[in-house]
Chain A
Amino acid sequence: MNTVQEEVRSGLADIVNEIVGVPLDEVRPEQSFADDLDVDSLSMVEVVVAAEERFGLTIPDQAAAGMKTVGDAIGYIVANR
């Protein structure tokens, strides 16, 4: 990961930690939100809304639905912020 990607990963880690309590260093690009991090569909909405605020962008529902892994989210945020 480059610095920008790492900055976004670290921000997402804060958000996921706040919402579901997963330790910060376990939030890695290859991790699936649902399968590895215990982020269910309702909590995923919270993650998306918090990410919008933190990174200053709007994430349409369709884009959010495509974010299966932390890497997916990092990629979308880096490309669209």
Chain B
Amino acid sequence: MFSTDRKVVVTGVGATTPLGGDSTSTWQGLLAGRSGVRLLTHAWAAETPVRIAAEVAVEPTELLPRPEARRLDRSAQFALVAAREAWADAGFTGPAGTDGTADPDRLGVVLASSIGGVISLLHQHDVLRQQGVRKVSPHTVPMMLPNTQGANVGLALNARAGVHSPVSACASGSESVGYGIDMIRTGRADIVVAGGTEAAIHPLTIAGFGNMMAMSKRNEDPTAASRPYDRGRDGFVMGEGAGVVVLESAEHAERRGARVYAEAVGQGLSADSHHITQPEPSGRGIVAALSGLLDSSDLVPDQVVHVNTHATSTPKGDVSEVKALRKVFGEAMDHIAVSATKSMTGHLLGAAGGVESVATVLALHHRIAPPTINIDDLDPEVDADIVRGEPRPLPGGRIAALNNSFGFGGHNVVLAFRTV
């Protein structure tokens, strides 16, 4: 258990998602209930049973200088775009050490993906097979390693307190934010840029996930395909992008007069040890993570008024998560506004926890919960107050919100944020 004397706050947010090229446009898209899912237009998509995905709204190559972009995997490009936005949003004008307010030795980066540079890896494999060894890019290894999205952000911001990439499939983004909170709690850093990124829309990953029967095949109606909690849900829709928050010790933020979005209260972690991909049906592991969060922080269950659920639109997972929340919160669950933003963004895999941390923080900051779209026929097993159709105002006073993320392998991560 970590000491809670060092309070941690969020002072910056950044994102690039299927709804927009930054956090503001993403947030507007969420409030408007807009779907980022489209029919794929790549030639390869004609041959796969899953032909829909949520690609980013703004290509990162439109924002990054060409020499920089060409040596970065697409996932690292997303990470840099989101991290630079979050960094500037937190009020920093240049890399640590250049603007006088951030000390490189006290700046950390925790940023992960679930799969790493898989598109670069597969592309270079094609180059190897078609053009020979000599033509394989010397950047192949740094483009495919799953720690280099974070490492590139660390290089760009001059972070020297530590750069980490905790990989836990679709929980990677949230686990990174939790790790970042701990880095500040334990005194290793004053500022941590944390989040997740993913660029994995490729015929191989789609074939792999598709053959697991994990993905929606609603090709004829893309914007309705991601439908958490609806009885007709038939799997997740793959998304891509990145979401990043700037975490900072409250003391450091106050000293430099930073705008504070919310407090990062803490995290709860557990592992299912049930099946490599199937969620544990009773939600036991999620209950353990939620209980761990409550035990290790000063979060009061009654403060929790909003949960951005993991809810990926798979038949089993959506229900076991809600069951676990009900088990932990009991009747208080009736006052919790539940939003499944993947209904709009698709499932950004390792980036999901980063993007949904941004959404959760902004929901508290603006005191409004984004809707869940595409629920035409609510699954009767979903015993929760789902925000449907329109966004819903959140109450005044000191309120808290959770961001849940779970990953293949049985990883459960629960993050808590609270108004200050």
Q: Footprint of B on A, CB under 8 Å?
A: 19-21, 42-43, 45-46, 49, 52
Nearest B residue to A44 via CB reads B138
Q: Footprint of A on B, CB under 8 Å?
A: 65-67, 70-71, 134-135, 137-139, 142
Nearest A residue to B135 via CB reads A49
> Would A49 and B139 be within 8 Å (CB), given that A19-B67, A21-B66 are in contact?
no
When chains A and B are docked, how far (Å) is the Cα of A19 from the Cα of B70? 8
- The residues of B that contact A46 with a CB separation of less than 8 Å are 137-139
A45 and B138 contact, CB distance less than 8 A: yes
CB within 8 A of A21: which of B65, B135, B137, B138?
A: B65
B65 and A42 contact, CB distance less than 8 A: no
Nearest A residue to B136 via CB reads A49
When chains A and B are docked, how far (Å) is the Cα of A20 from the Cα of B71? 10
When chains A and B are docked, how far (Å) is the Cα of A17 from the Cα of B138? 17
When chains A and B are docked, how far (Å) is the Cα of A20 from the Cα of B142? 17
B142 → A minimal CB distance (Å): 8
When chains A and B are docked, how far (Å) is the Cα of A46 from the Cα of B66? 15
**Closest 5 pairs (CB-CB, A-B):** A21-B67, A45-B138, A42-B138, A20-B67, A42-B139
B133 → A minimal CB distance (Å): 11
- The residues of B that contact A43 with a CB separation of less than 8 Å are 71, 138
CB within 8 A of A49: which of B65, B70, B134?
A: B134
Nearest A residue to B70 via CB reads A19
- The residues of B that contact A52 with a CB separation of less than 8 Å are 134
Nearest B residue to A38 via CB reads B67
- The residues of B that contact A19 with a CB separation of less than 8 Å are 67, 70
Q: Can you give 16 A-B contacts (C-beta < 8 A)?
A: A19-B70, A20-B67, A21-B65, A21-B66, A21-B67, A42-B138, A42-B139, A42-B142, A43-B71, A43-B138, A45-B138, A46-B137, A46-B138, A46-B139, A49-B135, A52-B134
B66, B67, B71, B134 pick with most chain A CB within 10 angstroms: B67
Question: A21-B66, A46-B137 known; 5 other A-B pairs, CB under 8 Å?
Answer: A20-B67, A21-B67, A42-B71, A43-B138, A52-B134
- The residues of B that contact A49 with a CB separation of less than 8 Å are 134-135
A64 → B minimal CB distance (Å): 11
When chains A and B are docked, how far (Å) is the Cα of A49 from the Cα of B138? 10
A7 → B minimal CB distance (Å): 24
When chains A and B are docked, how far (Å) is the Cα of A67 from the Cα of B71? 22
A3 → B minimal CB distance (Å): 29
A67 → B minimal CB distance (Å): 15
- The residues of A that contact B138 with a CB separation of less than 8 Å are 42-43, 45-46
Nearest A residue to B67 via CB reads A21
- The residues of A that contact B65 with a CB separation of less than 8 Å are 21
- The residues of B that contact A45 with a CB separation of less than 8 Å are 138
- The residues of A that contact B139 with a CB separation of less than 8 Å are 42, 46
When chains A and B are docked, how far (Å) is the Cα of A20 from the Cα of B137? 14
When chains A and B are docked, how far (Å) is the Cα of A43 from the Cα of B135? 13
- The residues of A that contact B71 with a CB separation of less than 8 Å are 42-43
- The residues of A that contact B134 with a CB separation of less than 8 Å are 49, 52
B24 → A minimal CB distance (Å): 29
When chains A and B are docked, how far (Å) is the Cα of A45 from the Cα of B140? 12
